[in-house]
Structure 1
Amino acid sequence: MNFSKAAIVSHMILGKIFSIIGYTVGSFFLLCCFIFVSDNDMPASHRTAAIIFCLIIIGISIILIIKGAKIKRLIGRFKTYVNLISIENITSIETIASRTSQSIDFVNADMKIMIDRKFFENAYLDTKTNEIIISKQNATTPQSSNNVQAITTEIETVICSGCGALNSRQKGLTSSCEYCGSPLK
């Protein structure tokens, strides 16, 4: 598994785990909080302490739910950016920002986070041109015999199973996605 694809998958799993834990634990302690409020047999000081504890756990659960949602939105924006970059050949941060209805600063920061988290492999932000630059990876050539032949180059378009980006490659060669580094089949 490519490191870039692993980073995306691990973030997806982490987002789901945060959400599941947040909703499950939060719901349980919310129920406990209602039970403690309605329990008249418990001393008031114990009831207050139990309710405060439940509210703290509910607060932590809300933080987990928010964190999970942020991760899911980040991955959704990554897929949008990959589609704009690979299908429409848009590399300008300004154009990406206008196409996604976000500010240039937001898209710039978002791309930097994605590059730092290894969502984009072999990518960097060019501050002079304000573009994302993704360096092309060389496709490996098939082994041939000693006789040299002129091979007609047929280009095929392949959809990456990792990020959904369109990639072009020479027919018959193995290569990796130029956006996330996943092997192309």
Structure 2
Amino acid sequence: MKAVSKNEKKIKVWITILSITIPLVVAILFGYKIPDSEPLTFLPPIYATINGLTAFCLVAAVIAIKKGRERLHQNLMTACIVFSIAFLVMYVAYHMTSESTPFGGEGVIRYLYFFILLSHIILSIAIIPLVLMTYSKTYLGDFKAHRAWAKYTFPIWLYVAVTGVVVYLMISPYYIS
């Protein structure tokens, strides 16, 4: 069994703190409305596009690493993290200035929408520690562990990115102009 370094222990503490704090802060801010603010109704198509770009970069990063292009892989993964942070900031800003849009579909499509939405939300919370652990393994130079973590992180992150676009496309007809 490999000994855990002092640096790795500190990183795990920070991953735990961030993995708990980020969803809590988002949940708190999601419920807070900025009084007399101009609704940022232009943001949903932008952050849906960012989700799409994240999905594209995730796939491109896997292709890059399989071709031995480590630097390109690293740059694409950094872009994915930046896109995810940008998405989160815009998503919270939108919900702090705008009322939530109710889904207007009926029947099977309504159940499908809520299944996709719920799985997207749950996995978007779960992906935080997975991304941070996967990234930290690279930072620590433990590429074997990085690959092992990435096998789980990649498909979940890709699902979250793709379903973010799907959720937007499903709810966009119900946005109030």
TM-score interval (norm. to shorter): 0.3 to 0.5
Greater relative CO (CA pairs within 8 A, separation 6+): 2
Structure number with the higher helix fraction is: 2
Q: TM-score, normalised by structure 1?
A: 0.31
Structure exhibiting the larger radius of gyration computed from Cα positions:
1
Q: TM-score, normalised by structure 2?
A: 0.33
